[in-house]
Amino acid sequence: MLMKKRFNPIKDKSGEIIDFLMASPDIPDDETLRFKLRLSIEEAVENVVRYAYDGGIGWLEAGTSLDHDSLILTIELRDAGVPFNPLERKDPDITLSIEDREVGGLGIFLCKKMMDTIDYRYEDGNNVLTMTKKC
């Protein structure tokens, strides 16, 4: 990661973390792409802030990098919270009415649709979520 920062504690810092990532020089100027990136970042960051630690007392390391040859943007979130692979969750059935759908899972589903790849791994006691997008 070329640009990264550790936020500690993360309680009430979702906006600050999202703004930090969106201010990265790696994020392209294209408004349509920025919308997709911001939505994906918001969903991923909110999941960590809300669920990784009891009471939001913990850290989140967030960073970006851009491969200038392939123009692939990488966004990485790393935390030491409760191990959780959001990719194991079944995609919601969006053909059902809101009343008939199970609660949860829509955010990561949107991330999967907006980003080119999303990868999760549990490494050295940390959750690591990596999202990529061709710019």
Per-residue pLDDT of 85-124, as tens digits, reads 988 876 555 555 555 545 555 668 788 999 999 999 999 9
The two tokens of residue 1 are 């990661």
The enclosing H or E element of 28 equals none
Per-residue pLDDT of 43-95, as tens digits, reads 999 989 988 998 778 999 999 999 999 999 999 999 999 999 988 876 555 55
Q: What is the pLDDT of residue 66?
A: 96
Output the pTM of the full model: 0.87
Beta-sheet pairing, 117-123 with 72-79? unpaired
Q: What's the one-letter identity of residue 56?
A: G
Alpha helices, H only, the chain: 14-22, 31-51, 106-114
Q: What is the pLDDT of residue 97?
A: 54
**Residue 75 near residue 111, CB atoms below 8 Å:** no
Domains of the chain, residue spans: 3-134
Q: What is the pLDDT of residue 92?
A: 55
Cβ neighbours of residue 89 closer than 8 Å, sequence gap 6 or more: 104, 105, 108
Q: What superfamily would CATH give domain 3-134?
A: Histidine kinase-like ATPase, C-terminal domain (3.30.565.10)
**Residue 106 near residue 47, CB atoms below 8 Å:** no
**Which residue matches tokens 């993360």?**
10
